[in-house]
Structure 1
Amino acid sequence: MFAIVRTGGKQYRVAAGDKIAVEKIAGNAGDTISLGDILLAGEGSELKDTAGLLVSAEIIAQAKGEKVIVFKKRRRHNYRRKNGHRQQLTLLRIMAIGSEKAKKAAAPKADEAATTDEAPAKAAPKKAAAAKTAE
């Protein structure tokens, strides 16, 4: 399965196991991130729906790109400027392309239910204590 993702203002065609260099993304080597801006996905010549689709990737390293020389010159004015620039890059390994977003969204709902059950039990003693002080 392949997907076309957009990150850093550029588009990349990725599949599971691919390694790509993208504009800098916050994180350390070994961290897992998810690329959510998916433009197209499919398998072979068949296209799939991108709603709820998620591309998970692992950060291999933070690196710098090749040095680019910026040279400015104006003829007959003795004007010359030389600068260099190295772009900050993040190297990614694509782990999987799938709909993991729905699974992750379901897990917090179960946690929220557990915390809401505990919250009324804690609130009841406070109300009783407040009633005793009012008397």
Structure 2
Amino acid sequence: MYAIVDIAGKQYKVEKDKFVYAPLIEGDEGSKVDFKNVLLVDNDGKVKVGTPTVKGSVVSGKILEHVQGDKVIVFKKKRRKGYKKKNGHRQQFSKVLIEDIK
């Protein structure tokens, strides 16, 4: 059984007892979270597609920890002008354990 869920504008394929690294979610580590924007549910070959969401479907999970992603380097240069700019950042993620798909 799996589902396609919209979390913060991004779509994720989630399965029970698996981890998902989603964009930073408000809440403490160990707290429960419910995702109500379920776009598709596959239950052993029986597929329900939402228009735009599946009514009555909820994916529940638990926030395990808040982590940072790999460093992303942003380098800008204009040739023969002497212009170089180097910036970078690390994206914030929440590690979520999917507990149930209803």
Mapped to 1, the partners of 2:7 and 2:48 lie a distance apart of: 20
Match of 2:56 in 1: 52
More helix by share: 1
The C-alpha deviation readout for 1:8-58, integer Å capped at 9, x for no partner, is 221111111010101111011100000010000011321136211100000
Where do 1:81-96 residues align within 5 Å?
81-96=85-100
**Matched pairs, number:** 98
AA aligned opposite 1:81 = K
**1: CA distance, partners of 2:48 / 2:20:** 23
Distance, in Å, in 1 between the alignment partners of 2:59 and 2:94 is 16
Show the 5 A alignment for 1:64-79.
Answer: 64-79=68-83
| Alignment-mate amino acid for residue 96 of structure 2 | L
1:9 is aligned to 9
Once residues 22 and 7 of structure 1 are traced to their aligned partners in structure 2, the CA distance between those partners, rounded to angstroms, is 7
SS of residue matched to 1:27:
coil
In angstroms, what is the RMSD of aligned CA positions?
1.0
Identity %: 40
User: Deviations for 1:81-120, whole angstroms, at most 9, x for unmatched residues?
Assistant: 000110010000000011xxxxxxxxxxxxxxxxxxxxxx
Q: Distance in 1 between matches of 2:62 and 2:68?
A: 18
Q: Where in structure 2 are there 5+ consecutive unaligned residues?
A: none
Structure 1 runs of 4+ with >6 Å offset: none
Instruction: Supply the distance in 1 between the matched residues of 2:95 and 2:10 (Cα, whole angstroms).
Output: 15
Alignment TM-score, normalising by the size of structure 2: 0.91
- Higher Rg of the two aligned structures: 1
Higher strand share: 2
Between the aligned partners of 1:24 and 1:33, the Cα distance in structure 2 is 12
What's the counterpart of residue 36 of structure 1?
Answer: 36
**1 or 2 for the larger relative contact order (CA 8 Å, sep ≥6)?**
2
Q: Which residue of 2 aligns with 1:120?
A: none
Flag structure 1 segments of 5+ consecutive residues without an equivalent: 99-135
**Residues of 1 paired with 2:87 and 2:37: CA distance?**
34
